[in-house]
């Protein structure tokens, strides 16, 4: 796994707009980082904050990244404001703190242990996605946050899954989490260069881009939710696109339903209606992205 400068800026933004960047954080998978100590200082200044005074700078555990001068994962997360950093992985080959298969239930000893859990592109590699979500819920303290930085469009065979942002929004909303941040971002293929383009996301805002609307660009998800006393993990969500559709259908007037039935039974009108719908679908591909809110 790897986290670039965009993730550091997202975390700084979370730090300066909430009280959730503190305490003990668990990484799902030990992260390689693509940020130097000098960049960390510069980015902190851009967000009107600073690095901790007693921050110990250690370079990456990866020899190639260490040679470039990128910091290790502990420095990265402590630099943004966390006090202690753990990592969990299926294997110990990268020196993680905890070894566990997220497909399986987490042992009781880890319940309520973490102030934050960071998923920096791990859940797409774990087959039993619902078990992962249950484990995250159990490991979080009340008031703790789950942070997903996950791949979406154009990541074929990167993992088992490419996520749509609606999966996180719908799941955490259904399970009474407090949604703190919900963004999608376009980003370059290389971690070292290029700029991230950030958009706000909520269900429905990119419906018109669902079929081929993102083209060749890579798309990622940034999502942060807080576990509150009423939060659960067992509720299976319905996709919000369909709940909106069902609600709209139930609100259709009797007269409108009768009109649709008449059109379907009249061949000429039905062909005309289908043609109009096709034209509208074509136009949907040239609709603009949501409003850009930041560049990281």
What is the tens place of the pLDDT at every residue in 140-177?
Answer: 999 999 999 999 999 999 999 999 999 999 999 999 99
Q: According to the CATH classification, is domain 2-239+291-295 in 3.40.50.150?
A: yes
Residues 6+ apart with CB under 8 A from 26: 86, 87, 88, 98, 113, 114, 116, 117, 118, 139
Residue 283 has pLDDT above 60, yes or no: no
What is residue 280's predicted lDDT score, i.e. its pLDDT?
63
Render pLDDT for 67-118 as a digit per residue (tens, 0 to 9).
Answer: 999 999 999 999 999 999 999 999 998 999 999 999 999 999 999 999 999 9
Residues 6+ apart with CB under 8 A from 260: none
**pTM of the shown model:** 0.86
Domain boundaries, the chain: 2-239+291-295, 241-284
* Distance of alpha carbon 246 from alpha carbon 101, whole angstroms: 38
Residue 105's nearest CA partner among 153, 139, 156 is: 139
Residue 276 binned pLDDT confidence (cut-offs 50, 70, 90): confident
Residue 279 has pLDDT above 70, yes or no: no
CB contact at 8 A, 85 and 52: no
Computed over every residue of the chain, the mean pLDDT equals 92
Render pLDDT for 194-227 as a digit per residue (tens, 0 to 9).
Answer: 899 999 999 999 998 988 888 888 999 999 999 9
CB contact at 8 A, 97 and 38: no
> Is residue 211 classed exposed, middle or buried when 0-12, 13-18 and 19+ CB atoms within 10 A define those classes?
exposed
* Distance of alpha carbon 46 from alpha carbon 82, whole angstroms: 19
Tokens coding 193: 């260069």
In our burial notation (b when 16+ CB lie closer than 10 A, e otherwise), range 249-267 reads eeeeeeeeeeeeeebeeee
Render pLDDT for 1-59 as a digit per residue (tens, 0 to 9).
Answer: 689 999 999 999 999 999 999 999 999 999 999 999 999 999 999 999 999 999 999 99
Q: Please provide the DSSP assignment of 91-156 as one string.
A: -STT--SEE--TTSPPPGGGTT-EEEEEESS-GGG-S-HHHHHHHHHHHEEEEEEEEEEEE-SS-T
What is residue 141's predicted lDDT score, i.e. its pLDDT?
99
Which residues are 220's β-sheet partners? 151, 185
* Distance of alpha carbon 144 from alpha carbon 166, whole angstroms: 21
Q: Any idea which residue has 């402590």 for tokens?
A: 78
């Amino acid at each position: 796994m790897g986290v670039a400068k965009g993730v550091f800026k997202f975390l700084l933004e979370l730090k300066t707009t909430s009280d959730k960047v503190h305490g003990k954080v668990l990484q799902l998978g030990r992260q390689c980082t693509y940020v130097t100590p000098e960049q960390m200082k510069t980015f902190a200044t851009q967000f009107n904050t600073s690095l901790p005074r007693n921050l110990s700078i250690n370079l990456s555990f990866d020899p190639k990244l260490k040679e470039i001068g990128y910091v290790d994962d502990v420095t990265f997360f402590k630099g943004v404001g966390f006090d202690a950093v753990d990592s969990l992985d299926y294997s110990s080959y990268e020196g993680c703190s905890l070894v566990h298969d997220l497909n399986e239930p987490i042992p009781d000893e880890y319940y309520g242990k973490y102030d934050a859990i960071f998923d920096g592109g791990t859940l797409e590699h774990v087959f039993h996605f619902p078990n992962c979500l249950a484990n995250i819920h159990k490991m979080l303290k009340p008031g703790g946050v789950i942070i997903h930085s996950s791949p979406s469009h154009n990541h074929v065979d990167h993992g088992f899954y490419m996520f749509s942002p609606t999966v996180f929004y719908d799941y955490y909303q259904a399970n009474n989490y407090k949604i703190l941040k919900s963004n999608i971002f376009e980003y370059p293929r290389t971690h070292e260069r290029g700029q991230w383009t950030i958009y706000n996301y909520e269900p429905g805002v990119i419906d018109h881009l669902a079929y081929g609307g993102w083209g060749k660009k890579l798309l990622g998800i940034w999502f942060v939710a807080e576990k509150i006393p009423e939060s659960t993990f067992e509720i299976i969500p319905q996709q919000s696109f369909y709940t909106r559709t069902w609600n709209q259908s139930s609100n259709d007037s009797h007269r409108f339903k009768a009109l649709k039935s008449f059109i379907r039974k009249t061949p000429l009108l039905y062909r005309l209606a289908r043609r109009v719908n096709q034209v509208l679908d074509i136009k949907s591909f040239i609709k603009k992205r949501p409003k850009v809110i930041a560049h990281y």
